[in-house]
Amino acid sequence: MRKAMKCKLAACAAFLLLCSACSLSGLWPDLPLNLNSKAVQRIEKNIGDADNFTFAVMGDSRDNSEKFRAVLAAAAAHAPAFIVHTGDITRFGRADEFDEAVAILRSCPAPVVVIPGNHDLETEKGRFFEQVFGPLDFYFQAGAFRFICINNADDVLDGSFIRLPAGDAPAKLAELAEGKMPACIVMHQPPATAAIKEHVSVPSTEPLAALLRKHGPGIGAILCGHIHGYAATELEGVPVIISGGAGAPLQDNKGTGFIRRFNFVLVSVQGRSLSHTVYFVD
């Protein structure tokens, strides 16, 4: 009898855990949360038309909430206008993981914009990410720069991009890149470069390179994660900054200049130019 009761209790516990992992409505009754739109509204208020500001970049915080909190706090201590998270804020893309991630983000004084990583889209084909953060492909403007945020978890770059926070009619990548406004491209998986060739998105590299050959002077940087560590390289003369060290297990050497340490990057915007400094959080 006791054994049967224990089995029933274990089954009930497993069922409740499954429900918590597969339903967002029980966690947040006011879905969708649109956290990226809300973050962009704060960014517009923080920056306005300013030409000079700083922002932080980090990514791949899954599997280690304590380290993520530490990296986030270290970045926030520099008082950036905002923070860009380059994806994989969860391990399996479950509702309970998004719930924990949101709780951590809400402890940060700076607005945080999150793009999807491959792990964030594992459950429900990314539906949970969309209900919490918003569109998978989107763009926003901060000062003189446009930030084009690409979902390349499936190795393609052909999404329709929604402008946040207004939700304007979708635009194509080429339209956004060819504009007069300088841009940063943000995507989870980095392109293959001469220095970094492992754990990259090979299929999306040539389309991106072709875009840069045509519009390279207007692209200030490509900001990525996916590789758990830090590296700075370039593609078609455009800087590629990889910051995927916000908590996920650090990876072995992935190429020339790769540094296997937890980190975030602080980017300084001066008019139409960018420079960056990496900070390690051990």
What integer best gives the mean pLDDT of the chain? 90
| pLDDT tens per residue across span 75-88 | 999 999 999 999 99
Predicted pLDDT of residue 7: 46
The partner residues of 39 in beta bridges, in order of sequence, read: none
Predicted pLDDT of residue 103: 96
1 with 64, same domain: the answer is no
CA distance 150 to 204: 11
10 with 118, same domain: the answer is no
Number of domains in the chain: 2
Q: Are 246 and 85 in contact (CB under 8 A)?
A: yes
Instruction: Report the CATH number at residue 40.
Output: 3.60.21.10
Q: Are 112 and 137 in contact (CB under 8 A)?
A: no
10 with 122, same domain: the answer is no
Q: Are 34 and 113 in contact (CB under 8 A)?
A: no
Lowest mean pLDDT among 93-97, 164-168, 192-196: 164-168
Q: Are 56 and 83 in contact (CB under 8 A)?
A: yes
Q: Are 243 and 183 in contact (CB under 8 A)?
A: no
Which range of residues forms the domain containing residue 20?
A: 1-30
Tell me which of 43 and 125 has the higher pLDDT: 43
| pLDDT tens per residue across span 211-236 | 999 988 899 999 999 999 999 999 99
Predicted pLDDT of residue 113: 98
pLDDT exceeds 50 at position 146: yes
Predicted pLDDT of residue 24: 60
231 with 146, same domain: the answer is yes
Predicted pLDDT of residue 179: 72
Q: Are 91 and 119 in contact (CB under 8 A)?
A: yes
CA distance 170 to 222: 21
For range 133-144, the mean pLDDT = 95
Report residue 10's pLDDT band, with 50, 70 and 90 as the boundaries.
very low
For range 35-52, the mean pLDDT = 94
3 with 69, same domain: the answer is no
Cite the beta strand spans of 39-144 per DSSP E.
Answer: 52-58, 82-85, 112-114, 138-142
